[in-house]
Amino acid sequence: MNFALVIEWLIKGLVLVFILLGGFAYLTLYERKALARIQVRIGPNRAGPWGILQPIADAIKLIFKEELIPAQADKLIFFLAPVVTLVPALVITAVVPWGPTLTVFGHKLTLYIADINVGVLYIMSVTSIAVYGIVLAGWSSNNKYAMMGGLRSSAQMVSYEIALGLAFVSAILLAGTMRMMDIVEAQKTIWFVLLQPVGTAIFLIATLAEVNRAPFDMPEAEQELTAGYHVEYSGMKFALIFMAEYDKMIAISAIGATLFFGGYRGPFVDQFPWLGPIYIFLKIVILLFGMIWVRATFPRIRYDRLMAFGWKVLLPLSLAVVFITAIGIILAQQVNQSLIWLIPAASLLAGFVAIAMMYRTLRRKEYARA
């Protein structure tokens, strides 16, 4: 193994971790600002110009806060749980390609840390670990609210992981590979969001549930569970859990941008490779805005409806989407290339059927109530 290569990996890994940690800090500011504007407020603007020093002030506050550990808590697991939640959020970004291969001072620099040929599978497996962190945080706190939050999150994340995985499958089928670099290159002519709009929609909804964001933020429903699984956490341990949540948002937005929105691809990327990181950054910012926007708009849905939606709507729909995608690809390969457009048409039809059935169910419930 080449020593210089190891050094390069180390540097890239460090840079990525620092970007994610800085990104977390500024994502909190971004979210607060965007939420404030949606609520016709100004948002934080006292610390530094436009509040750009606010995350630093928050960090200093959190570091100097007292860390409480409940007397009956399982100390070791209580200590480990925030770490277990944070690490997967940082680790999944290793396979995301941030740009095409750059040539810096005659040296070829690849803008990803690991080029795994089963990149998407790796993402799926690592994100599942994050569930442990939340469940263990809830359990080790020895608090009934935290326990409820942890249990809810395990049920929710496991349920929505299936729909999320099947949404991934539709992108994998379209690209014909699990390697992230190749998935991006497969979107050279057309982004997968246009070929598989319903798959993208399922992905976006399921990610909201995966990262416990509103309107699926059951594990931390303030009104019912005070703060859910992190109710007993304070100080820097709380900051770690908080960081994990926001880094998961960033990571999952990066993955979504890579799988469905062309990754680092955009106009003139082939001529100017350094545009790649800028494009993916913009795409991540837009996807993050979507998450914030949804949080500002929709109320939290009831827990049984969340589960019903996951199992009775998203799961069948995502199965149908995978089925349609597979058939469309076979038709396009065997009969005519333009038949690929059957995929979006048929999956939109499937989405329509799903909404129609939801409408019927809702109306039947209304009659039953009346």
Partner 1 sequence: MRVLEPLVGLIKGLWTTLASMFEKPVTIQYPEQKRPVRPRFRGRHVLKRYENGLEKCIGCALCAAACPSNAIFVEAAENTDERRFSPGERYASTYEINMLRCIFCGFCEDACPTEAIVLGDTYELSFTDRRQAIYPKEMLLEPVAANGAPTPQKTEPGMFTRSVPEMKNPVD
Is 50 a binder of partner 1 (CB under 8 A)?
no
- Cβ nearer to partner 1, comparing 37 with 75: 37
Residue span binding partner 1 (CB under 8 A) among the ranges 7-15, 74-82, 139-147, 295-303: 295-303
Closest approach of partner 1 to the CB of residue 319, in Å: 20
Q: Which helix (H) or strand (E) holds 287?
A: helix 275-297
- Cβ nearer to partner 1, comparing 40 with 368: 40
| Cα first-last separation, the chain | 72
Applying CB under 8 A, which of residues 67, 274, 359, 364 lies at the interface with partner 1?
359
Q: Determine whether 243 is exposed, middle or buried from the number of CB atoms within 10 Å of its CB (0-12, 13-18, 19+).
A: buried
103 φ, ψ (degrees, to nearest 5): -110, 110
Q: How many residues bind partner 1 (CB under 8 A)?
A: 19
**b or e along 216-232 (b: 16 or more beta carbons within 10 Å of the residue's beta carbon)?**
bbbbbbeeebebbbbbb
**b or e along 3-33 (b: 16 or more beta carbons within 10 Å of the residue's beta carbon)?**
eeeeeeeeebbeebeeebeebbbebbbbbbb
Applying CB under 8 A, which of residues 298, 345, 349, 365 lies at the interface with partner 1?
298
Is 57 a binder of partner 1 (CB under 8 A)?
no
Applying CB under 8 A, which of residues 6, 7, 37, 349 lies at the interface with partner 1?
37
Is 40 a binder of partner 1 (CB under 8 A)?
yes
Is 39 a binder of partner 1 (CB under 8 A)?
yes
Residue span binding partner 1 (CB under 8 A) among the ranges 96-104, 126-134, 262-270, 356-364: 356-364
- Cβ nearer to partner 1, comparing 65 with 363: 363
| Pairing mode of beta strands 102-104, 107-109 | antiparallel
Q: Interface residues with partner 1 (CB under 8 A)? A: 34, 36-42, 293-294, 296-298, 352, 355-356, 358-359, 362
